């Protein structure tokens, strides 16, 4: 009898595999991988959308099911924890990664450093760096560069310099960006000598310094009043065919101006002109920089007095100086420049007239302020908001309330975002149609809640609105309420009541005159010598 062949045991079916059959290399392994990959994607999505705690919860469920972590899973967690500044938990995850998988490589550590740098967590960066040393992972140039640059920006240049020296000792290829970061940081720290040594080291290493490095050193030397050394460095940059910019020249111009070395100042301007730069453009930016600090404004004016004799002046420069002088209360000097500008046959622009309006209004010359307004007003140019505001306030003071309200409407019609006070002014005039003081007071209360206390413009709006649409009694109720809340003094209350009565008389006279004109009686009254109406 021929023996039967032994039957082989049945192979595991897909259903059996789904039930978890097989060992580490058996049929269950592919299914585990299929589970790991979707969970990893879910965790990555949660981390990227800022749901770190939810991602950690998913990770705990992931581990609870006995699934093995992959390196990708660890890195998703580590990056999320780094971004959240949870460095202690990062260390725990790294320990688990070493235990269950392998230690992180240089790319993983560099990724962690970059995330922490992006969050400004320099202490965390240094802790991760120490962990990398513990794992005896050799950092590459990218890791060093990321850390050194971050330490320089974070005002830890000495620590960054230690890592730089470490790179030099290891023979790493150090790029110009690292040199530039160190130079800029040392200059900002006042250690210009060390920064200069780095420039020499950069050149000795075969590199050609770029313009930002020269700019940093020139600025640092000028801050120490070593402008002659800065000038020599500038000449080196010119010989290197580096196209200098405003950041290169401005520190030297400022230093020459402060040291009152105007001959050297003008020589530098001439050199810039020979190099093809626009001198007036540079001077405009120079004066803009100078007037940025109040204690430099008068120095800037002194420089300008000498430069304009040489023809170095323009309307934008006059505008910069006029605005600066007005800011520090030197209104008469600002107006002197305005008159000088016109005498020199320059054509003032809208900015010039706007500044002049503000100045004339402050010195009480409302006629000249209005003349400037009429000069500027046109289809393509309007006064500045500050000019509108100054002119309106001055008109309210001299009881030209109708003209002030007209300017407010003109301003809101011509600017994209007018003053909140002007908007409430129109609201108050509209509410006055109800002849109800309580409603007007409600609007004023709303103004105060948004940080806009009532002033002369608002009270003039009450006068204008009530005289046109309401009664004296309701207007007085508004002012009495303001007095009871100590928003007006007793003297203010008397002044506004007088303004109210005078404005009502004016509006009544205007109505009477309009009626006489309509019925043709005006000429007959004039013929009889009637003086009841204004001429």
Residue 234 has pLDDT above 80, yes or no: yes
What is the predicted pLDDT for the residue at 525? 43
In the predicted model, what is the mean pLDDT of residues 61-72?
Answer: 56
- What is the rounded average pLDDT of the residues 178-203? 93
Whether the Cβ atoms of residue 6 and residue 40 lie closer than 8 Å to each other: no
Q: How far apart are CA 199 and CA 218, in angstroms?
A: 12
Q: What percent of the chain has pLDDT over 70?
A: 75
Mean pLDDT over each residue of the chain, to the nearest integer: 82
Predicted local confidence at residue 415, as pLDDT: 86
State the Cα–Cα distance between residues 504 and 463, nearest whole angstrom.
8
Average pLDDT over residues 117-145: 83
pLDDT score at 314: 93
Q: Provide the pLDDT for residue 116.
A: 79
pLDDT band at 59 (very low <50, low <70, confident <90, very high): low
pLDDT tens digits along 369-423: 999 999 887 657 889 999 999 999 999 999 999 999 999 999 999 888 889 999 9
Average pLDDT in the 316-329 region? 96
pLDDT at 40 over 70: no
User: Would you state the structure tokens that stand for residue 430, as one six-digit string?
Assistant: 């509209």
Q: Average the pLDDT over 86-109 and give the result.
A: 67
What is the C-alpha separation between 36 and 32, in angstroms, rounded? 6
In 3-state terms the chain splits into helix, strand, coil percentages (rounded to 5) of: 75, 0, 25
Least confident of 96-100, 288-292, 353-357, 520-524: 520-524
pLDDT band at 461 (very low <50, low <70, confident <90, very high): very high
For the chain, the domains span 34-139, 422-535
Our CA angle for 336, 340, 346, nearest 5°, is 140
In this prediction, residue 61 carries a pLDDT of: 57
pLDDT at 344: 87
Supply the CATH classification number for the domain 34-139.
1.25.40.10
């Amino acid at each position: 009898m021929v023996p039967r062949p032994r039957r082989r045991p049945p192979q595991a079916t897909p259903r059996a595999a789904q039930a978890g059959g097989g060992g580490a290399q058996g049929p269950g392994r592919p299914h585990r991988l299929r589970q790991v990959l979707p969970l990893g994607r879910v965790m990555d999505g949660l981390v990227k959308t800022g749901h770190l705690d939810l991602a950690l919860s998913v990770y705990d469920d992931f581990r609870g099911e006995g699934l093995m972590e992959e390196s990708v899973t660890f890195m998703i967690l580590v990056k999320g924890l780094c971004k959240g500044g949870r460095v202690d938990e990062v260390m725990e995850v790294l320990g688990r990664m070493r235990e269950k998988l392998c230690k992180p490589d240089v790319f993983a550590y560099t990724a962690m450093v970059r995330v922490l740098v992006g969050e400004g967590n320099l202490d965390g960066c240094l802790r991760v760096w120490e962990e990398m040393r513990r794992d005896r992972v050799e950092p590459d140039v990218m890791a060093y560069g990321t850390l050194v640059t971050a330490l320089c920006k974070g005002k830890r240049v000495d620590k960054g310099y230690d890592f730089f020296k470490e790179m030099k000792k290891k023979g790493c290829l150090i790029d110009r960006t690292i040199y530039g970061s160190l130079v800029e940081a040392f200059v900002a720290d006042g250690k210009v000598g060390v920064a200069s040594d780095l420039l020499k080291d950069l050149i000795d290493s075969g590199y050609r310094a770029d313009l930002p490095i020269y700019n940093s050193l020139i600025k640092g030397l000028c801050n120490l009043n070593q402008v002659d050394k800065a000038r020599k460095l500038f000449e080196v940059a010119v010989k290197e065919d580096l196209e200098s910019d405003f950041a290169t020249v401005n520190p030297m111009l400022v230093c020459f101006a402060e040291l009152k070395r105007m001959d050297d100042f003008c020589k530098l301007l001439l050199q810039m002109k020979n190099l093809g730069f626009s001198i007036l453009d540079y001077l405009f930016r120079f004066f803009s920089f100078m007037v940025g600090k109040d204690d430099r404004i008068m120095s800037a004016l002194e420089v300008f007095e000498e430069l304009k004799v040489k023809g170095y002046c323009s309307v934008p420069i006059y505008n910069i100086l006029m605005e600066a002088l007005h800011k520090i209360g030197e209104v008469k000097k600002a107006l002197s420049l305005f008159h000088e500008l016109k005498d020199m046959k320059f054509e003032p622009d809208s900015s010039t007239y706007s500044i002049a309006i503000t100045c004339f209004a402050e010195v009480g010359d409302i006629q000249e302020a209005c003349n400037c307004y009429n000069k500027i007003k046109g289809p393509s140019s309007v006064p500045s908001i500050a000019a509108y505001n100054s002119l309106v306030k001055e008109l309210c003071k001299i009881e030209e309330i109708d003209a002030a309200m007209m300017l407010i409407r003109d301003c809101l019609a011509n600017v994209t975002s007018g003053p909140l006070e002007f908007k409430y002014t129109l609201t108050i005039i509209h509410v006055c149609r109800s002849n109800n003081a309580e409603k007007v007071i409600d609007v004023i209360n709303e103004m105060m809640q948004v940080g806009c206390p009532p002033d002369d413009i608002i009270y003039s709006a009450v006068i204008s609105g009530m005289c046109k649409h309401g009664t004296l009694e309701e207007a007085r109720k508004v002012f009495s309420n303001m007095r009871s809340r100590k928003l007006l003094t007793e003297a203010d209350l008397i002044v506004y009541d007088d303004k109210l009565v005078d404005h009502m008389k004016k509006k009544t006279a205007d109505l009477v005159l309009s009626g006489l004109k309509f019925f043709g009686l005006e000429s007959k009254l004039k013929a009889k010598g009637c003086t009841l109406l204004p001429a």
